[in-house]
Amino acid sequence: MASAASTLIRMLLRDMKWDVRRKIRGYFVGMIPKPARKIVGLILIIFGVVTILGFWIAALFWLTDYVGICVIGVLVGIGLIGWGIDLLRHKG
């Protein structure tokens, strides 16, 4: 029974931390004017797609370390796309 209670407490603390992070992020993103958020969000999405394609093409044709460079490019591109979508979907 003690392990179930400690697991529940850990889950609640993790959810509280996530909620605080989301509120702080929402506050700072909300300080940016809506037109600027939309423009920056679209630019980030475009850069993310270009990054994924650019790293993939460079690794495919010119670089010898294909797997390593593609993983880095995909992670950076996905991060940029995620930030862009977050800015576009923000309500506030």
In tens digits, what is the pLDDT along the chain, a chain of 92 residues? 457 777 777 877 787 777 777 787 778 888 888 888 899 999 999 999 999 888 878 777 776 667 777 788 889 999 999 989 988 888 76
Compute the C-alpha angle 63/69/72, nearest 5°.
160
What predicted TM-score, i.e. pTM, was given to this entire model? 0.69
Model pLDDT, residue 2: 58
Contact between residue 44 and residue 80 where contact means Cβ atoms under 8 Å apart: yes
The DSSP code for 31 is T
Contact between residue 44 and residue 84 where contact means Cβ atoms under 8 Å apart: yes
